[in-house]
Chain A
């Protein structure tokens, strides 16, 4: 669709010519996104190309550009750090202005006493954590790692991570937020709306954040979040991380009031019991099944290779055949990482005793090799900063997370065998990385206080190989089929795949949801705050009476 150049000029007038572009190569750098090849025609690595990319520097500029987009009916798609295929425009025939918010990059304030920070969208977790630690504070870093935007995880996406068990989900850590609606209105939520500061996300009365921040967030589909305040947790460690070692396997020495363990379980029943015991006992500063992302068959070989800077992935092949490594690997097959922290030596010693008791009661154990100094310090580094999260892609550059249905430990335990069997079967093609059927990774709890999480199957494929891409797509379809067959809710693969589906297909599926109230709600809410439908379906809705016979000829 042709759009008047007046629109471009109007945007240029707002942000200045240096901060907007429609150069095709530049636009491609925003269209190219991870996972695109799994959903786009001909396995293209590109999502639809934006019509222009704009870099506003302030809420005022975001608002002004949004108004221009309303005038010219151009879709809007804000990104902070910009990752995932859904960060790009969705449809080829919908001109979209991509808002790259990287100029809005300030930590506006850290309120040390009241333990919250006010940040703009391009502040990443690692930056905030580094600044917070100077004040004895810490921030929950989401599972995708510390290169992610704080605002994105708090306002617009999921918000759970390895530290959520202790520090809370960023949904709950979200305090005041500033939101530019797709219609271009600025809305402030919680205490901020009353001019009372940033400290509270709820109210006045019902919480406006209830329409902006659900389970997943609107992922750029409902306007732009331009600032938010985020609750911080205490950090009983040094003001600056004293990192040592050579890349890539940096190590973080374990302070006397910290512990860094990998805990193994003899079977999944014991594993679940251990999770419940940790939940009941309130243990854990960071609690996550992390290192298994490499696959339970290869994890030990990979990480012992990784922490040796002289080695390459070729060494994993040799190491994986070493009987000693195989033996270690078996002890770590069903394992997870647990970082303990205390305010005092007495406190950490007590936590150790409690953990001993839990392990004794559940038949679980500390995995010795992983608890030796080199691996323990590496684990500590990995989990505290989450600066190695893109080891997700370490095998071949492609990773797709299937499963990840969240629930209680017993619920998760229930689907683990199916997830493992399905992945094992799909590896027989040799077109996915053969790391064993269990590459399940996930938080100890995505909710503050514990008790709720999911495990995500780390499916590694080669995005430079069409056959491998196809095998990954097949795995996603197989996982959906397994879920349907066993009555398990669909997992992340469905979320990923439907980015490539037509509206009709998505709505047909939605209409069969057990409850459609929220989909109808979101449609009506969208009608009100996004009358020109400039936001995309990352904020999903169900057209009125969709699925009821006769199907409407056209829906908005």
Chain B
């Protein structure tokens, strides 16, 4: 072990190899119910060449590597080692914003850059990045995109990985290679920029889409050392609206229409518990607030960007109001305790150091999947019946539905708050998670990001694509040193 320590220190420097019990403990588990396992080291590389050296070292020493970019808390078990003797590769120090290309609206950033760090840098250029709903302050932009975390503006989502475009990847084999358009050019970003290339097109290179092989991989294919991201203009004027309804089904066609005609920027659906939890950090106040809220709320942001922003907003508002009327819904600018300002904070801001899902009881068992919106109500019923089976109070369950890929797919997420210190509650949360997941899969919920138990559920049913993924893994990480034990490898 000491030999390994010395070798690691030679790569990243003595100060960047951590093996104190507290640090190791922090990385031994997360907020999920996955089995804890202590890593041997946490290393903090500073740049691409250190990462590459680490991966080569891991191949030489058959040491599992677990890449981590975001700060704690982590949620889904993907950053907790599954194999013994693992080394956590903590990329949070790689914080370079390598380039912001205003004209082409592309940023190139390292994996340690968080949403809260990137936003002000972009704002100076009048730019922003489509982002997930209320990310925690230390959430890595690159990690969020690699995990295909949903973003809130479906009209910009021409593909699920959007706005992720190109990546620089140190593959499990130790080779450095770029994805997409960047994979055709010199293996050097500066040299590409000099040629006028801007890492815009995510496809390729050639007949392979390498980016698609690192997304959703939970760090099992390689380590992304930079990513290019498509940016958007900051709106000059905005407005936001709530469209409340007692039933989700009453909002379904309305949301379909909005995403079809691409009217609106932020477009999402929240149940009362979720909305209350997002705007009110105090559990008691949140519980009180939720009683005053409608069962379901569609939250829609409109924005005037670029030329004639006011007129754009005016036209959008007119079309939006007409649609609300067409679907016999009502509009409101807020509720008691939930204002438009709260909405802007949710959309533009971050959740600080305390993720809202943990606020209610200190822990939350999340279940999320993709489906089409017309199936969402049925799948919610499934979860409700499982919750009832275990006497879980349904009003406590937060539900968030996020249209993705311009409304073709929808992220449906449940948060089951529980007390991590109460063994019964922990057991109940686990039981609900296991049973609901199994039933949801049976009913066609798509666990596209198969963390933990979900990977068993999905890969057991799918021998042919499992075989393909294993082939890919064997090619890019022949020694299986990248986060082994996750997914189907």
Give me 9 other A-B pairs in contact (C-beta within 8 A), A447-B201, A518-B208 excluded. A172-B159, A187-B465, A200-B409, A203-B216, A203-B446, A203-B450, A206-B472, A514-B186, A524-B474
Closest A residue, CB atoms, query B316: A347
Question: Is A281 located at the chain interface by the 8 A CB criterion?
Answer: yes
Question: Is B133 located at the chain interface by the 8 A CB criterion?
Answer: no
List A residues 430-461 near B (Cβ within 8 Å).
Answer: 446-449, 451-452
CA A350 to CA B198, docked complex, whole Å: 31
List B residues 274-319 near A (Cβ within 8 Å).
Answer: 305-308, 311-312, 315, 318-319
Do the beta carbons of B161 and A452 come within 8 Å of each other?
A: no
Given the contacts A197-B372, A358-B307, A205 and B217 also touching, CB distance less than 8 Å: yes
Inside 8 A of B148's CB, which chain A residues have their CB?
A: 202-203
Chain B 448-489, CB-CB to A under 8 Å as 1, else 0, gives 111000010011011011011101101110000000000110
Chain B 253-267, CB-CB to A under 8 Å as 1, else 0, gives 100100011110000
Do the beta carbons of B204 and A214 come within 8 Å of each other?
A: yes
Given the contacts A196-B444, A215-B203, A448-B158, A280 and B308 also touching, CB distance less than 8 Å: no
Question: Is B211 located at the chain interface by the 8 A CB criterion?
Answer: yes
Chain B 170-183, CB-CB to A under 8 Å as 1, else 0, gives 01000101101101
Inside 8 A of B474's CB, which chain A residues have their CB?
A: 524, 528
A sample of 15 inter-chain contacts (CB < 8 A) reads A185-B467, A195-B444, A199-B370, A200-B446, A203-B449, A203-B450, A205-B487, A205-B488, A206-B213, A206-B215, A210-B213, A514-B186, A518-B210, A524-B474, A529-B471
Given the contacts A194-B447, A206-B213, A411-B198, A518 and B160 also touching, CB distance less than 8 Å: no
Chain A 483-512, CB-CB to B under 8 Å as 1, else 0, gives 000010100000000000000000000000
CA A186 to CA B171, docked complex, whole Å: 28
List B residues 220-248 near A (Cβ within 8 Å).
Answer: 220-221, 230, 233
Closest B residue, CB atoms, query A358: B307
Chain A 259-277, CB-CB to B under 8 Å as 1, else 0, gives 0000000000000000011
Question: Is B207 located at the chain interface by the 8 A CB criterion?
Answer: yes
How many chain A residues touch B (CB < 8 A): the figure is 93
* Distance (whole angstroms) from the CB of B116 to the closest CB of chain A: 25
CA A221 to CA B207, docked complex, whole Å: 10
Inside 8 A of A227's CB, which chain B residues have their CB?
A: none
Q: Which of A14-22, A109-117, A378-386 contacts B (4 or more CB under 8 A)?
A: A109-117
CA A487 to CA B105, docked complex, whole Å: 24
Inside 8 A of A447's CB, which chain B residues have their CB?
A: 158, 200-201
Given the contacts A194-B446, A281-B307, A358-B307, A216 and B207 also touching, CB distance less than 8 Å: yes
Inside 8 A of A116's CB, which chain B residues have their CB?
A: 408
Chain B 114-157, CB-CB to A under 8 Å as 1, else 0, gives 00000000000000000000000000000000001000000010
Do the beta carbons of B204 and A216 come within 8 Å of each other?
A: yes
Do the beta carbons of A175 and B408 come within 8 Å of each other?
A: yes
CA A513 to CA B306, docked complex, whole Å: 40
* Distance (whole angstroms) from the CB of B195 to the closest CB of chain A: 7
B residues contacting A by CB (< 8 A) are 103-105, 148, 156, 158-161, 171, 175, 177-178, 180-181, 183-187, 195-198, 200-201, 203-218, 220-221, 230, 233, 253, 256, 260-263, 305-308, 311-312, 315, 318-319, 370-374, 405-409, 441, 444-450, 455, 458-459, 461-462, 464-465, 467-469, 471-472, 474-476, 487-488
Q: Which residue from B161, B221, B256, B462 sits with its C-beta under 8 Å from A113? A: B256
List A residues 518-539 near B (Cβ within 8 Å).
Answer: 518-519, 521-522, 524-525, 528-529, 538-539
Do the beta carbons of B468 and A529 come within 8 Å of each other?
A: yes
Do the beta carbons of A200 and B370 come within 8 Å of each other?
A: yes
Q: Which residue from A205, A406, A449 sits with its C-beta under 8 Å from B158? A: A449
Inside 8 A of B178's CB, which chain A residues have their CB?
A: 515
* Distance (whole angstroms) from the CB of B488 to the closest CB of chain A: 7
A residues contacting B by CB (< 8 A) are 111, 113-116, 136, 168-169, 171-172, 175, 185-191, 193-197, 199-219, 221-222, 231, 234, 236, 276-277, 279-282, 343-344, 346-347, 350, 353-354, 357-358, 406-408, 410-411, 414, 446-449, 451-452, 487, 489, 513-515, 517-519, 521-522, 524-525, 528-529, 538-540
Do the beta carbons of B105 and A515 come within 8 Å of each other?
A: no
Q: Which residue from A203, A411, A414, A525 sits with its C-beta under 8 Å from B448? A: A203
Inside 8 A of A187's CB, which chain B residues have their CB?
A: 464-465, 468
Given the contacts A201-B160, A205-B216, A357 and B462 also touching, CB distance less than 8 Å: no
* Distance (whole angstroms) from the CB of B67 to the closest CB of chain A: 14
Q: Which residue from A234, A277, A346 sits with its C-beta under 8 Å from B262? A: A234
Do the beta carbons of A209 and B308 come within 8 Å of each other?
A: no
Do the beta carbons of A113 and B372 come within 8 Å of each other?
A: yes
CA A111 to CA B177, docked complex, whole Å: 39
CA A539 to CA B306, docked complex, whole Å: 42
Closest B residue, CB atoms, query A196: B446
* Distance (whole angstroms) from the CB of B189 to the closest CB of chain A: 12
* Distance (whole angstroms) from the CB of A533 to the closest CB of chain B: 15
* Distance (whole angstroms) from the CB of A167 to the closest CB of chain B: 9
Do the beta carbons of A211 and B370 come within 8 Å of each other?
A: no
Q: Which residue from A114, A195, A353 sits with its C-beta under 8 Å from B311? A: A353
CA A282 to CA B305, docked complex, whole Å: 9
CA A234 to CA B408, docked complex, whole Å: 12
Inside 8 A of A113's CB, which chain B residues have their CB?
A: 253, 256, 372-374
Closest B residue, CB atoms, query A167: B158
* Distance (whole angstroms) from the CB of B473 to the closest CB of chain A: 8
Given the contacts A113-B256, A114-B374, A207-B215, A518 and B206 also touching, CB distance less than 8 Å: yes
Do the beta carbons of A408 and B370 come within 8 Å of each other?
A: no
Inside 8 A of B262's CB, which chain A residues have their CB?
A: 234
Do the beta carbons of A514 and B448 come within 8 Å of each other?
A: no
Inside 8 A of A199's CB, which chain B residues have their CB?
A: 370-372, 408-409, 446
Do the beta carbons of A452 and B200 come within 8 Å of each other?
A: yes
Given the contacts A354-B308, A407-B200, A448-B158, A209 and B209 also touching, CB distance less than 8 Å: yes
* Distance (whole angstroms) from the CB of A354 to the closest CB of chain B: 5
Inside 8 A of B230's CB, which chain A residues have their CB?
A: 449, 451
Scoring A200, A217, A344, A448 by chain B CB atoms within 10 A of each residue's CB, the highest score goes to: A200
* Distance (whole angstroms) from the CB of B228 to the closest CB of chain A: 12
Closest B residue, CB atoms, query A186: B464
CA A203 to CA B447, docked complex, whole Å: 8
Do the beta carbons of B210 and A210 come within 8 Å of each other?
A: yes
Do the beta carbons of A202 and B217 come within 8 Å of each other?
A: no
Do the beta carbons of A196 and B308 come within 8 Å of each other?
A: no
Do the beta carbons of A196 and B445 come within 8 Å of each other?
A: yes
Inside 8 A of A195's CB, which chain B residues have their CB?
A: 444, 461
CA A12 to CA B461, docked complex, whole Å: 34
Closest B residue, CB atoms, query A231: B408
Do the beta carbons of A202 and B476 come within 8 Å of each other?
A: no
Do the beta carbons of A222 and B207 come within 8 Å of each other?
A: yes
Given the contacts A113-B372, A214-B208, A521-B475, A185 and B175 also touching, CB distance less than 8 Å: no
Scoring A449, A518, A539 by chain B CB atoms within 10 A of each residue's CB, the highest score goes to: A518
Do the beta carbons of A205 and B212 come within 8 Å of each other?
A: no
CA A406 to CA B467, docked complex, whole Å: 34
Do the beta carbons of A515 and B183 come within 8 Å of each other?
A: yes
Do the beta carbons of B306 and A281 come within 8 Å of each other?
A: yes
Inside 8 A of B260's CB, which chain A residues have their CB?
A: 115, 136, 234
CA A220 to CA B196, docked complex, whole Å: 32
* Distance (whole angstroms) from the CB of B44 to the closest CB of chain A: 26
Inside 8 A of A347's CB, which chain B residues have their CB?
A: 315, 319
Top-5 shortest CB links A-B: A215-B204, A210-B212, A448-B158, A517-B177, A203-B448
Do the beta carbons of B201 and A282 come within 8 Å of each other?
A: no
* Distance (whole angstroms) from the CB of A63 to the closest CB of chain B: 12
CA A517 to CA B312, docked complex, whole Å: 46
Do the beta carbons of A514 and B185 come within 8 Å of each other?
A: yes
CA A34 to CA B217, docked complex, whole Å: 42
CA A330 to CA B256, docked complex, whole Å: 46
CA A114 to CA B205, docked complex, whole Å: 30
Do the beta carbons of B446 and A204 come within 8 Å of each other?
A: yes
Do the beta carbons of A210 and B462 come within 8 Å of each other?
A: no
Do the beta carbons of B476 and A521 come within 8 Å of each other?
A: yes
Do the beta carbons of A206 and B469 come within 8 Å of each other?
A: yes
